[in-house]
């Protein structure tokens, strides 16, 4: 089974994270694959928009800790940094459909996307402070930039949902 499935339908490239039994937790190989997919899509004249989503009951549970411990980022270019560079260089609309768990990198990657639709089942969590690690994907800057500093204080170690009627990040994700 492929961990990432892509499909072109007309000018839309659909990217599906496909590790539902692991809640689509990202491995080093998945980061590298996504870099290639986004870089190729950026240079493909037939791709006009990317739709990204996860298989199963979650969007992405962040890093696969087992894989992360086996393949820790070393000095220089890491797979995670490669994906961030691919996001920064991607100039086409990137639309994400989020449901279920979006934890750690599963949330922070979203701040580099253009339009995020969060379903009612979505549960966002950025556990970096609680785990005593530095927030990834530039989220200590990108979250306040997307949702304004005052609303973002304390969210780097927070958890929130995509339920309607709440003043939580799903309101800003689409802005």
Assign residue 118 the CATH number of its domain. 3.90.226.10
Digit-coded pLDDT (tens) for 51-108: 999 999 999 999 999 998 998 877 778 898 899 899 999 999 999 999 999 998 898 8
User: Rounded CA gap, 62 and 24, in Å?
Assistant: 8
| Distance (Å) of CA 9 to CA 13, 147, 151, 158 | 6, 33, 38, 37
Q: Is the pLDDT of residue 39 over 50?
A: yes
User: Rounded CA gap, 130 and 157, in Å?
Assistant: 6
User: Rounded CA gap, 143 and 138, in Å?
Assistant: 8
Digit-coded pLDDT (tens) for 141-159: 766 676 654 444 454 455 5
Range of the domain at 58: 4-173
Number of domains in the chain: 1
Q: What is the pLDDT of residue 175?
A: 37
| Distance (Å) of CA 6 to CA 2, 94, 104, 174 | 10, 14, 23, 24
Report the percentage of the chain scoring pLDDT > 70.
Answer: 75
């Amino acid at each position: 089974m492929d961990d990432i499935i892509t499909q072109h339908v007309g000018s839309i490239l659909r990217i599906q994270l496909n590790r539902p039994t692991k809640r689509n937790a990202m491995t080093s190989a998945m980061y590298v694959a996504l870099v290639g997919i986004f870089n190729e899509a950026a240079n493909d004249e037939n791709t006009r928009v990317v739709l990204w989503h996860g298989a199963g009951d979650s969007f992405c549970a962040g890093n696969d800790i087992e894989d992360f411990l086996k393949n820790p980022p070393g000095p220089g270019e890491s797979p995670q940094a490669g994906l961030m560079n691919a996001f920064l260089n991607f100039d086409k609309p990137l639309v994400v459909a989020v449901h279920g768990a979006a934890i750690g990198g599963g949330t922070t990657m979203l701040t580099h996307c253009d339009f995020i639709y969060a379903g009612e089942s979505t549960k966002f969590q950025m556990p970096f402070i609680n785990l005593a690690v530095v927030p990834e994907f530039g989220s200590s800057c990108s979250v306040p930039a997307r949702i304004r500093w005052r609303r973002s204080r304390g969210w780097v170690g927070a958890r929130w949902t995509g339920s309607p009627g709440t003043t939580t990040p799903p309101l800003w994700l689409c802005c």
